[in-house]
């Protein structure tokens, strides 16, 4: 999943980026509201973490602009303003949740996961993604195939999560790079192919159905090989 952090305090922004990277999220950083709007206009994000106090414009105005321009994903607003009135203003501006500074990273992570689950499953809260005989538990970070547990690294888990959120949809290397790595990913690198091979060895090796397939000239797709094309 790909997250944009709009935060002008470099120390806070890097703290969030490191923490979110460690659990498998791809993170870009914008240091102002206008920069954040430019990122969103040119790239696709699954969630936005937005600070209220920005150097060029109020974060609430940024949230309104983002919604006006069509962003439908969740927005988590960060602020030192803790009154109920401030929170109401933030929610009215288009935020989905509101976290007061200072905060524990574990709490922020829990809010992020809850917002992503809510957004991906409509009104229901679904913490397990399923495709064919494969299951991915977002809360406990577990992967099962035919009931057997598969151990993945954080990046492998993130890569598989992207596939399972887009089953039977061919995914190009640029799309994979932007969602699983970040906007500064070197498109000439073979890292994606290396990780695909690592994931195949863990997810497909030893099973009759091969789920991670190559789409010539495009990239890769998660598809049940026993189904008709």
Encode pLDDT of 56-101 as tens digits. 988 899 999 999 888 988 999 998 876 677 777 777 888 888 888 8
Strand partners, 144: 135, 149
Locate CATH 1.10.10.10 in the chain. 128-222
Locate CATH 3.40.50.2300 in the chain. 2-120
Q: 39 Cβ partners below 8 Å, 6+ apart? A: 4, 28, 30, 45, 183
Burial of 120 by CB count in 10 Å (0-12 exposed, 13-18 middle, 19+ buried)? middle
pLDDT band at 201 (very low <50, low <70, confident <90, very high): very high
> Sheet holding 171-172: strands in order across?
171-172, 219-222, 212-215
Task: Say which CATH class 128-222 falls into.
Answer: mainly alpha
Average pLDDT for residues 201-208, to the nearest whole number? 89
- Architecture of domain 2-120 in this structure: 3-Layer(aba) Sandwich (3.40)
pLDDT in tens, 103-118: 889 899 989 988 887 7
């Amino acid at each position: 999943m790909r997250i944009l952090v709009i935060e002008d305090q470099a120390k806070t922004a890097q703290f969030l980026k490191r923490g979110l990277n460690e659990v498998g999220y791809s993170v870009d950083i914008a240091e102002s509201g206008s920069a954040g709007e430019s990122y969103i206009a040119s790239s696709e994000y699954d969630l936005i973490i937005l600070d209220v106090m920005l150097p060029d414009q109020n974060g609430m105005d940024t949230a309104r602009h983002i919604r006006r321009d069509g962003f439908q994903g969740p927005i988590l607003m960060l602020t030192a303003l803790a009154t109920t009135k401030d929170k109401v203003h933030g929610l009215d501006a288009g935020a989905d949740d509101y976290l007061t500074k200072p905060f524990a990273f574990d709490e922020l992570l829990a809010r992020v996961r809850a917002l992503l689950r809510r957004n991906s499953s409509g009104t229901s809260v679904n913490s397990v993604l399923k495709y064919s005989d494969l299951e991915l538990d977002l809360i406990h970070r577990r992967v099962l195939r035919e009931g057997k547990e598969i151990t993945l690294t954080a990046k492998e888990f993130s890569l598989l999560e992207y596939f399972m959120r887009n089953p039977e949809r061919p995914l190009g290397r640029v799309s994979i790079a932007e969602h699983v790595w970040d906007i500064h990913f070197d498109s000439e690198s073979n890292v994606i192919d290396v990780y695909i091979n690592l994931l195949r060895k863990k997810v497909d090796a030893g099973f009759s159905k091969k789920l991670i397939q190559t789409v010539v000239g495009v990239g890769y797709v998660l598809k049940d090989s026993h189904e008709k094309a």
